[in-house]
Structure 1
């Protein structure tokens, strides 16, 4: 009940502030400044990396197995080399044209601009280009992921400037999709073939991915300096350690800091120190075990691990080895790495090998303890223990490099697992996809870690495609919520307008009932459907003002002549308004016939009419408007709204807005964040933030299929966080959290 009451509260102070917004010209000036800053920075970033693009294309050509693909890469490299400046100029041109078309379309009317009206949508009118459309969606989705915090804040600010709550995500004229569409249009202008366009788009997305968050960050800072939603702090500061959703094959130099700390060396130092401090020698090693690993010993160890990965120890099946539960190797449900070492299933020829096994084992301890991953999917990750151990043996940068393909694959599997359950078509497909990835690694991974990069890209493609599918379900829920919110706000706005027009005016009771009934519905429909800036809304307000004036006493000839002149237009607009809410024509004519009586009375002598009104002689039955017809009855069913200042519902004390760290935490949530909600019966509901209302701060949470919607207001969400009835699931990648916890534990033990 509390949630229902909270959703019906309208913050009048916020509504009043919305009426003191920038003028259209001022907003457009700020938008143009953002447009120019954005495209200049994007073009500069793209041109600065042309050499890298050429090198990458030539390398891809050299590695291509067929002549056709090799020629494709050579042709793309030739365009960048010979026509790079022309491509950049065309990109600038099409981005500006798309931006201007979008902002003009939104600003020209109070109505929401439909997706089909956007120039960025019209740029892809060719039905044949399904492949191109899919590549566009993938490129835009990955760029959005890389800039998720910065773009979320920019979405809100652009929506405010355009006065269009839909101007976000794909419909933001500064967004990732707008940029990618402009790039494809630039390629089209240069008459580049379809296949080459896709190659260039992929390169474009990879090269600007690291620059785009900073570009959006600067745009947010610029708009905050102009006092555009300054309270939104997300997206203003650089997140240096946030992993980016770039291709698995992106060059490490672009994704890792050059002064990256050697995490393995740190872990090794802490582990050796722990063993020395305990006086036990740390890990029990066979006599004569070396402290460093030779290449030959590493090769032998990798070979024995590969055999174990395939279920063989030497030439003997694992099932025949005593002292080891072979079922655990296939189940993936427990940590087996220490048991493998204890059972002597692998040959350790150096102390480094032993320590590496111990470090990876501790890493998986934390993975198995992570309660956000369902047990069934955790078992899939557990089956990768031996392959991950092999990766760590082959490349100690696995611990230091957050962009390492093996780490990123584990992180993406873990992230996709949040909110998973055993029912639903998508959850079945997700499990099958993850299971196939695990099976591919177990069957095919020997020493080449490139398999992790390939499978990572395959998983990302799967997740991006699913995200595109769920957006429609989320969009429908969001639209329903926005419609409900606009209806609530319309109720307050309309009541305020009627009060201001009729306040202090002695109106016939029938006219007052007409304003509070049918005409209130006309105004609410215009506000909700067309918007406060629309001509329809303004016309209906003016009609109400004219109606009120028309039924007041006409004390002189000038007023009576004015009434005669205005009546045709007044009746016309009243008819149009009632038609908009589909009032029955017969009832509409009754309204007009009763209105004739009111006008006749208004034309009589002023003083005499005033006396009659005060004496109550003009009874409601003489000009009754309300009928038994369903349309009129429904329109007049609501009680007369209270004045604006009284539009308030009683709430629980826990729902009052408290400015503390929990409210700040709720405000800082961004699209894609997961929360756990604890129910009274002890069950836990895991839900993802899918949308936040820009009107009233209502949060929409869904499951991983975009369904099972949960809506909650900001103050109520903060109250649940405060009461420990909700918990934000950690957003940091799984392996990053595990490594940090491992370092922390070893440092504490050493201390």
Structure 2
């Protein structure tokens, strides 16, 4: 029933008006886009024939654009009128097309139907979440217990049929028909979510929530009657081509897949069903009355916890057999995760917000565990009842058999009603029969519940969730061997799941079509499933490959970004070389008594010449490095004639090398003259006989060369420690000069924000850490989306490149033509001051853990009150 006093007829009438308003506005914007699109595609094509067709199509749009919008509007009004007449009605118009009538005379009839189905599918996929919510709201208005897209009067089929029929009425060449159908459909696609969003918003404002109530259905069994919770929706996403409303062809529907008969009513199922409902209501701020499943849960747990005279004996024999006597479910689950996830943590901060986003969507399938098992298209099979040779208690050794037998393809992961199958829950009975300890049973249930949240996390596209869902048995196998997978964030399997989830959040920004990344994820999942080593290192290897793939895709996303990344890499390499050379020189000079003037020259002037030579001329670089020990030896007082003779032979080489090095960096002439005057005096003193010696008096040229052995080695450009000293002014100065010299076409955000943020030392910059993990750096990955406050206005950005040295990032911001560069140090400062935030505030696996804890806590709360 609809809460409130709004008449359903009024609701539907106003919703229809809102739909038509949004549709008309979308088409008014679509036609100009199509005109421009036809011109661009005509300009890009190498075929003169195709170019002519595109230009002809453009002419039709230019000349008849207003008429086309008017006809599209009228056509949609006609379609809506017919659609409302058949909503949740047994009457359906007869189709005037069937495969028996196909002849060679008109082969396009069947192809046209398939084409409409393909376009409808694209519209459906583009607005998956909004359409699902609208299906539910329509079902609520008509007081239905299940949803069916075919019964939604605003279903995507209306869009494709309206566009096709309107173009047909233009009576144009069939070739132009195909072009216009493609161009209008493609350019209209992005408006579909907003059209459904406007209708959803109107219905939501009038009290129609996108959540069906859990119903209790009784069905007879061999032994009597069992109570079966019936879940939210049975989404029929079969093509609407059969529902022709004004002419055209139809295709027959596929028969529904048979659903398995599964036992209901266990404490575990009712706990999870109730937990998800309660958590969703709490997060979204709704305090609804208890559903039948809530009451059932309270009663069952109450009976399990309190036996005769308040005892707790019944717990050990029921489905919650892993509970200790008197222990609450929520306490047991928190204890399983090491007790580190407190109630406050699981209820607070950004994690609660993230959990709410998909707990609310999870409540769409409010049956929880029961709903998942009911929606399976494959019947469960208990090994203990099928004559399997597997021994009871050999759970770990049996998991590979489950994985091979019951892991479906990506397409088969869908249950046929819009949901994804929880494979562990389907085989929970068989798995529990093989479990030999309480820990194993609890691990089965915990992994099953975590995947239930992952499979319902709508921040991740359904296709990718399906691929992650195929890893269920493998994750269970690893968790049984080593529970750090569930308790430690750094486990390789967990990191891979989180990385895939993070990329999925910004999938359209990284890969607009989604095809390449989805294909790569499928490849990775297949490799992991086929690996029989049972070594978690396979996840680390696949994570590295996935990171490399994402980095390459982002790098090549456009020429400006690629150019900016190449420039940033040059800057990094030059700065790193300078930092290492400076450190090598400083280390070599330690312990030597050197005139301050000469030491200052080496560390502030000569090091620049060394960096340039290292980069451009290795032979010159070696001579410039040799100059340092030669020059130091040359000014040491000479005690005998042999040393003076050696110095006289070396001086021309020293002077020539000095001039060559200073000329390469365009050294100030005054500085060069001052150095030469200083050297004349120093060499004059060193040549005097009977000079009062210094501590360097007895040092030979070969000995001082040996002292500088490490200085002659090539810099280690894979060691980035030299760049992590924020107080090194020389390195920072070199970095700034390198950026100016290379003149990269990039916006330098450090210069924008350095004046806006307060000055602070490195120790004052807070690092968000958890259990020794720097969460900022953990989330700082390529492809991740951020919101950045630029000029007082928040703007979304995508991290296209992150320097392996963790010094700079390249990101692209919405509305900005040029990519932007930001130092990691400034990025951390901006995070600390609220000027930057990650759009994914918590990774996928952590969201699942927090939602599980929240659900357990909220479910226990009424009993504790």
Per the normalisation by structure 1, the TM-score is 0.34
Per the normalisation by structure 2, the TM-score is 0.30
